[in-house]
Structure 1
Amino acid sequence: MLLDCDGVLSDTELDGHLAAFNLAFAELGYGFRWSREVYAELLRVGGGKERLRRYFADHPEIAFAGGADLDAAVLALHRRKSEIYVEIAESGRLPGRPGVKRLVEEALDAGWTVAVASTSAPESVEAVLRTVVGSETRARMAGVFAGDAVEAKKPAPDIYLLALSELGLEPAQTVVIEDSDVGAAAAAAAGLAHLVTVSSFTTEEVFPEASAVVTDLGEPGAPARLLRGGIELEDGLVTLSGLAALRGSRA
């Protein structure tokens, strides 16, 4: 089981990444901030540094702080943004999404290989994992594949192909949990069955190749809802048996 981080482990984009970007802009002397609407458009680009480059390309009038060139400005902004984001995550302000800790622990207990494949910086993913599943459960997971581990970010399939190669998994053995069109497209391009749990920025997205789409993974007393597709929920919960039925469905 391979999980995306942002929007899957925790609904991080609005109160985590966007907040951290805007704090970094202010600290480093930039006279703009990203609105929710601007950031929603930028989320179509995989990777934080890549979003910065896209924004600066669309706004050539912006002068880089301290007379830096584009590369230096992007690296400085992203470095500070990542530091702020880790602080936010470790403060406990980004709680886990329903069912994530439950399902990860059930999968590990059943002997499944569980890892994260994300466009976010590795330190950002690790901070979320420590908060959402705890250090002991994180230590049992097979790894984190993230950030610049690959050159081409989602929607390219590279991060999923890297995870499959490093973990020795075949596509038919694997199911992905994603939350966005960009991530779902990456999973599809890697030939992987994928379940989508919609998040705050992705409720209107389409996910044309998703095996199923749900509101979340579900908790006892707080059931998930099936929005589309073919996964059987047990008392409103996404379970290992449901995910197992999806594995290999793209073969």
Structure 2
Amino acid sequence: MTAMSGPLLPAAVLWDMDGTILDTEPIWDIAMEALARRHGIEMTEELRLATLGNNAVDALTKVFDAARVPESGRDFEAEEATMVEHVIGLFARELPWRPGARELLDLIAAAEIPMLLVTNTQRDIADIAITTIDSGRFVATVCGDEVAVGKPAPDIYLRAAEIAGAHPNDCLAIEDSPTGAAAAHAAGVPNLVVPSQIAVRPAGKRVFRDTLAGLTLDELAGLYAAAGGR
């Protein structure tokens, strides 16, 4: 499928969720702050930004390191369960959309371009948010606990491209964080970055936009081409 101006559109669009489609990062901040306080420290801005977009193990490790929790005291399973319970409760209240995300989802769907949701969030939490977005928008959803290693490793994007039946370079990832952008880069997926809370450094196969609001199919095709797409 081609845009009217000529550049090709991607064979599939691989959407990040937290901070890209939904403004969930402030909700995760609440849970992370509670985790830090349980271990006797306050969540500094530096630590918060370091954990942004991380999978659960990486985020917990960074908090444990900051709190100087000894290896023998690092109960990843129990702490993750506590965080999951906390976040599920917060997600159940309200999940606000990021500007332009809903409209771009509808626009891409109308163009009959397959979309997949690619999130580091584990399945039991993600499913609550996916209900808000509507799972019917996506060919598939891939969560961080369904691959060997979550973002920033490439596994989750490689799996999404495989499900889409497309070469990674023929897809476009839409991300907001350094962690997610790094995962897309490692997988060889051209990446549109719309930063939410933290700046993302320029890199190969990476283009930027301040917001998804007002984005047209022609512009999407141009951004995909600029990111090194087919």
| TM-score bin (small chain) | 0.7 to 0.9
Q: TM-score normalized by structure 1?
A: 0.76
Is 1:183 matched with 2:161? no
Report deviation, 1:24: 5.2
Is 1:140 matched with 2:137? yes
- Consecutive unaligned residues of structure 2, counting only runs of 5 or more, are 1-12
Question: What is the alpha-carbon distance in structure 1 between the residues aligned to residue 85 and residue 15 of structure 2?
Answer: 23
Question: What is the alpha-carbon distance in structure 1 between the residues aligned to residue 171 and residue 28 of structure 2?
Answer: 28
Q: TM-score normalized by structure 2?
A: 0.82
- Cα deviation digits, residues 93-113 of structure 1 (max 9, x gap): x31101111111221222111
Question: What is the alpha-carbon distance in structure 2 between the residues aligned to residue 40 and residue 77 of structure 1?
Answer: 20
Question: What is the alpha-carbon distance in structure 2 between the residues aligned to residue 53 and residue 89 of structure 1?
Answer: 23
Question: What is the alpha-carbon distance in structure 2 between the residues aligned to residue 210 and residue 180 of structure 1?
Answer: 15
Question: What is the alpha-carbon distance in structure 2 between the residues aligned to residue 196 and residue 24 of structure 1?
Answer: 29
Code of the residue aligned with 2:98 in structure 1: it is R
Question: What is the alpha-carbon distance in structure 2 between the residues aligned to residue 130 and residue 53 of structure 1?
Answer: 30
Q: What residue number does 1:232 align with? A: none
Alignment partner of 2:211 out of 178, 198, 216: 216
Question: What is the alpha-carbon distance in structure 1 between the residues aligned to residue 184 and residue 73 of structure 2?
Answer: 35
Pair 1:190–1:77, CA change in 2 (3 A) = same
Report deviation, 1:12: 2.0
CA contact (8 A) 2:190 2:224 kept: yes
Alignment partner of 2:79 out of 68, 77, 80: 77
CA contact (8 A) 1:46 1:182 kept: yes
Q: What residue number does 2:89 align with? A: 87
- Cα deviation digits, residues 13-48 of structure 1 (max 9, x gap): 2x211202334566xx543342333211233x7312
Question: What is the alpha-carbon distance in structure 2 between the residues aligned to residue 33 and residue 76 of structure 1?
Answer: 20
- Consecutive unaligned residues of structure 1, counting only runs of 5 or more, are 219-236
Code of the residue aligned with 1:3 in structure 2: it is W
Alignment partner of 2:62 out of 54, 60, 77: 54
Q: What residue number does 1:19 align with? A: 30
Code of the residue aligned with 2:111 in structure 1: it is A
- Cα deviation digits, residues 43-70 of structure 1 (max 9, x gap): 3x7312221123324443x379xxx852
SS state of the match for residue 169, structure 1?
Answer: coil
Report deviation, 1:187: 1.1
Code of the residue aligned with 2:50 in structure 1: it is E
Report deviation, 1:160: 0.2
SS state of the match for residue 141, structure 2?
Answer: strand
Is 1:4 matched with 2:16? yes
- Cα deviation digits, residues 56-87 of structure 1 (max 9, x gap): 24443x379xxx852xx211111221222122
SS state of the match for residue 159, structure 1?
Answer: helix
Q: Percent identity?
A: 27
Q: What residue number does 1:241 align with? A: 218
RMSD: 2.4
CA contact (8 A) 2:192 2:224 kept: no
CA contact (8 A) 2:123 2:143 kept: yes
